[in-house]
Amino acid sequence: MIRIKDIKIREEINDKEVINIVCRKYKLNIDDVVKWSIYRKSIDARNKNDIFYVYTIDLEIKDYKSLNQNKYKNIEFFTEKELLKLDVNRKSNKRPVIIGAGPAGLFAALKLIEYGITPIIIEQGKKVEDRKRDIDEFFLTGKLNITSNIQFGEGGAGTFSDGKIVTGISNPYCREVLKTFCRFGAPEQIMYVNKPHIGTDNLIKIISNMRNYILSNGGEFLFENKVKDFEIVDGKITAVTCNTRIETDAVILAIGHSARDTFEKLYELGIKMDRKNFSVGVRIEHKQEMINRSQYSDNTKLKLPPAEYKLVYHGKKRTCYTFCMCPGGEVVASSSEYNTIVTNGMSRFARDGVNANSALLVNVTPEDFGGTSPLEGIYFQKKLEESAFILGGSNYFAPVQRVKDFLDNKCSEKLGNIIPTYKPGIKLSNLNEILPKFVSDTLKEGILYFDKKITGFATDDAVLTGVETRSSSPVTITRNSSYMSNIYGLYPCGEGAGYAGGIMSAAVDGINCAIAVMKN
């Protein structure tokens, strides 16, 4: 195979037309191309007067010698590597149990089924279609279902987000995850765009397709089943109890970062866990049109996708950063416990909403929440969420504030030209009243700093919605090199266990835990 990098395209074309441009540039006969594919596509917008697409393509041609590698430094030859088949050592006749049907749990199940092992997946929430109805009702009426919401249910928290599948990890299974998403209905472009996303609208269908495939291959789902207890004998897992008792010797614990009562049960049973750093803050909304103008300018003739941003401010004591930016999206009510307010961001695949939103977060360390229990971070989060609930009017309306009023430390009395997207409703407030001072001070510094990077970021009418507390798990469930906790056969997995930070890394961790189950 031949990989050609750094192909600059300054015209609006269909992705399928790239091969014609490449053939013309490198004097190749299109009929000699056996096969080709786009490996990477990104946008170079560093020079606002010259914005262009950058492609990398892979192709196979009949006469590869016709390409002079020495003449073109952006050409390299390579051989596609297939992932090796695994040697399965598992001899047990007991079925593995997976707790949680988020990306970690689902990809663990898919990997087990690939090797003929049929797991039981326990999920306290509902099927994704039923879950969506509960979420829609919450947005409409403020009636919260504490087991079927943005956090809990088939597909996990990432299903009702922007569906980002970007990651900082480098792992051969990353491409397998992308291919699997495509196999179950994701747009093909996720294989090559620089910052792929699937969108909530697509994920709902994809998760349903995954479930049907797992069922058709012998897997079993127990929806609306909450794990209540774990049986441990001589340091080994022997059974789990939900609505029924299930004997097993392998449990993949993919519970997500919001399963607080399960964390408490695990701690009670002596499963080792540690406190960890996480972040809290707010959601910030701007007009997407303004973000586009700042990132792209008005000079380009290309039909560019809604612009994104990722910003970091390093203060003297704290860091402020943007997280899970949702172009053309909305801020969504993400509570999973009564009398709390939690926010997140969500986008459809088209990202065609009027507003852009992003989490605006400040790092929190164990020293900030004190105490000695590994669960202290959970209590810190919950206190913030309960304070936001009261500030919002104790009816699941979220407290919101204009950026100017936040900077001036005064309650907002009116909105400007940016209308909050949060449902079921909002209440004008002063978020300084509930945020820890070190958080609000660092947010203010960050907002003003980010305005130097994106013109208009600190515009008076930008809207802050509180609070964002679930960016990552507040605990790490300790595991060894065999992916097991201090209890033999119990495999802490994914974001909730502290080993992932998004859909991609959670899915990869699910695959790795499934492999560990098969090896042991």
Q: What is the CATH number of the domain that holds 49?
A: 3.30.70.2700
| Contact assessment for residue 261 and residue 496, using Cβ atoms and an 8 Å cutoff | no
| Contact assessment for residue 275 and residue 267, using Cβ atoms and an 8 Å cutoff | no
Token pair for 271: 């499963």
Instruction: Answer yes or no: do 478 and 458 share one domain.
Output: no
Domain-located, residue 82:
no
Token pair for 403: 């950026």
Instruction: Answer yes or no: do 420 and 491 share one domain.
Output: no
Distances 177 to 2, 160, 262, 505 between C-alpha atoms, Å: 24, 18, 27, 10
Instruction: Answer yes or no: do 53 and 168 share one domain.
Output: no
Position 256: which residue type?
G
> How confident is the model at residue 267, as a pLDDT?
97
Domain-located, residue 326:
yes
Domain-located, residue 90:
no
| Contact assessment for residue 121 and residue 221, using Cβ atoms and an 8 Å cutoff | yes
pLDDT string in tens for the chain (520-residue length): 889 999 999 999 999 999 999 999 888 888 889 999 999 999 999 999 999 999 999 999 887 766 665 567 788 888 877 778 888 989 999 999 999 999 999 999 999 999 999 999 999 999 999 999 999 999 999 999 999 999 999 999 999 999 999 888 889 899 999 999 999 999 999 999 999 999 999 999 999 999 999 999 999 999 999 999 999 999 999 999 999 999 999 999 999 999 999 999 999 999 999 999 999 999 999 999 999 999 998 888 899 999 999 999 999 889 999 999 999 999 999 999 999 999 999 999 999 999 999 999 999 999 999 889 999 999 999 999 999 999 999 999 999 999 999 999 999 999 999 999 999 999 999 999 999 999 999 999 999 999 999 999 999 999 999 999 999 999 999 999 999 999 999 999 999 999 999 999 999 999 999 999 999 8
Instruction: Answer yes or no: do 441 and 493 share one domain.
Output: no
> How confident is the model at residue 76, as a pLDDT?
86
Instruction: Answer yes or no: do 265 and 285 share one domain.
Output: no
Instruction: Answer yes or no: do 243 and 108 share one domain.
Output: yes
Domain-located, residue 91:
no
Nearest to 311 by CA among 168, 454, 108: 454
> How confident is the model at residue 67, as a pLDDT?
67
- Where do the DSSP E strands lie in 312-378? 312-314, 319-326, 330-333, 343-346, 355-364
Domain termination residue (choose one: 431, 450, 468)? 468
Token pair for 514: 């499934």
Instruction: Answer yes or no: do 191 and 266 share one domain.
Output: yes
> How confident is the model at residue 133, as a pLDDT?
97
Domain-located, residue 86:
no
Three-state secondary structure call for residue 21:
helix
Domain-located, residue 26:
yes
Instruction: Answer yes or no: do 270 and 337 share one domain.
Output: no
Domain containing 27: what range?
A: 2-77
Distances 297 to 51, 291, 405, 452 between C-alpha atoms, Å: 9, 9, 28, 15
Instruction: Give the phi and the psi of residue 415 in degrees, each rounded to 5.
Output: -95, 160
Q: What is the CA radius of gyration of the chain?
A: 24
Instruction: Answer yes or no: do 168 and 301 share one domain.
Output: no
Instruction: Answer yes or no: do 373 and 245 share one domain.
Output: no
Please state whether the predicted TM-score (pTM) of the whole model is above 0.85.
yes
Instruction: Answer yes or no: do 362 and 384 share one domain.
Output: yes
Token pair for 279: 């972040």
> How confident is the model at residue 79, as a pLDDT?
83
Which ranges of 409-502 would DSSP assign to H, the alpha helix? 437-453
Domain CATH for 208: 3.50.50.60
Q: How far apart are the first and last CA of the chain?
A: 37
Question: Structurally, how many domains does the chain consist of?
Answer: 3
DSSP 348: -
Domain-located, residue 329:
yes
Domain-located, residue 85:
no
Q: Which residues of 177-211 are buried (b: 16+ CB within 10 A; e: fewer)?
A: bbebbbebebeeebbbbeebbbbbebbbebbbebb
Instruction: Answer yes or no: do 305 and 363 share one domain.
Output: yes
Strand 236-241 with 229-233, pairing: antiparallel
